[in-house]
Amino acid sequence: MRSLIVIPTYNERENIASIVEDVLRSVPTTDLLIIDDHSPDGTGQIADELAKVDPRVHALHRPGKLGLGTAYILGFQHAIAQGYDLVFEMDADYSHDPRYLPRFFEMIQEADLVIGSRYVPGGGTPNWSPLRRFISGGGNIFARAVLGIPIRDCTSGYRCYRTAALRTLNLGAIRAQGYAFQVELAYNFWKSGYRVREVPIIFVDRRVGKSKMSRKIFAEAFLWVMRTRVTGDTTVRRPRGPDRAQAASGAPLAERPRPTTAGE
């Protein structure tokens, strides 16, 4: 199956070249899409240079810092338009270790969404502070209890989706960012009856640079869970006709016109 790994970036100059190299060493048949939000440290220029020397690497540039969720939506739409069968979410800062990628490919054979999970046996967060463990672990317990979702790590941003399933969601209606974005996608996959699996990962703090998490992101996730509990709103568009059969079978999408990216 054709796969695309989407890596949003903002000020990741010190990480981007090495993470691209390590990803392609781990899964050499995949393609990579770097979506840069006009990083002032020159990350976008490095992405363009990488794209020039390796046809598997592509770069898209946005005019400013527009949010993690919108970056991934752009990446999903790009993957669908270009006929990829699988699309990944992945951070550039090494908190998502590329060595787990082959396991994602194994598990997606029997799933529509595979989540790299810190909270299943074999997963963990060894260098986190007690406060961060409490916030993250407690947030997942809260989301499971309020929404009834059986996924143990619904805030993880290390994922693999079948694009045939993503096509059945109203991606344009998603406005959440950060943790709320991850919860919303996991919730909608579960609510639509798709197969969700979790693969254990060890999550470590970023090697260099500064974390982009904030109180605003945590608050957004809390409010999204409460609002969804009250209203029951989702972005699910139930698949019909060809979409239903395609999503259920995991058949590849029809090829569509390809937008131009750096390196093509």
Q: Which residues contact 112 (CB under 8 A, 6 or more apart)?
A: 161, 162, 164, 165, 189, 194, 195, 196, 247, 250
CB 179 within 8 A of CB 218: yes
Predicted pLDDT of residue 177: 80
Q: Which residues contact 261 (CB under 8 A, 6 or more apart)?
A: 33, 51, 58, 59, 60, 78
Range of the domain at 117: 3-249
Predicted pLDDT of residue 215: 66
Predicted pLDDT of residue 172: 85
Asked if the structure places residue 256 within a domain, the reply is no
Asked if the structure places residue 167 within a domain, the reply is yes
CATH number assigned to the domain comprising residue 161: 3.90.550.10
| pTM metric for this prediction | 0.84
Number of domains in the chain: 1
> CA torsion sign, 155 to 217 to 208 to 134?
negative
The packing angle between helices 215-231 and 130-147, to 10°, is 10
What are φ and ψ of residue 226, in 5° steps? -65, -45
Asked if the structure places residue 164 within a domain, the reply is yes
Asked if the structure places residue 115 within a domain, the reply is yes
CB 168 within 8 A of CB 243: yes
Angle at 173 between CA 146 and CA 154, to 5 degrees: 35
Asked if the structure places residue 216 within a domain, the reply is yes
Q: Which residues contact 19 (CB under 8 A, 6 or more apart)?
A: 7, 12, 92, 93, 94, 98
Predicted pLDDT of residue 4: 98
Predicted pLDDT of residue 81: 97
Asked if the structure places residue 261 within a domain, the reply is no
Asked if the structure places residue 173 within a domain, the reply is yes
Asked if the structure places residue 46 within a domain, the reply is yes
pLDDT tens string, the chain, 264 residues long: the values are 999 999 999 999 999 999 999 999 999 999 999 999 999 999 999 999 999 999 999 999 999 999 899 999 999 999 999 999 999 999 999 999 999 999 999 999 999 999 999 999 999 999 898 988 988 899 899 999 999 999 999 999 999 999 999 999 989 888 788 788 999 999 999 999 999 999 999 998 755 555 555 566 667 766 767 777 667 666 655 444 444 444 444 443 333 333 333 333
Distance CA 94, CA 18 (A): 9
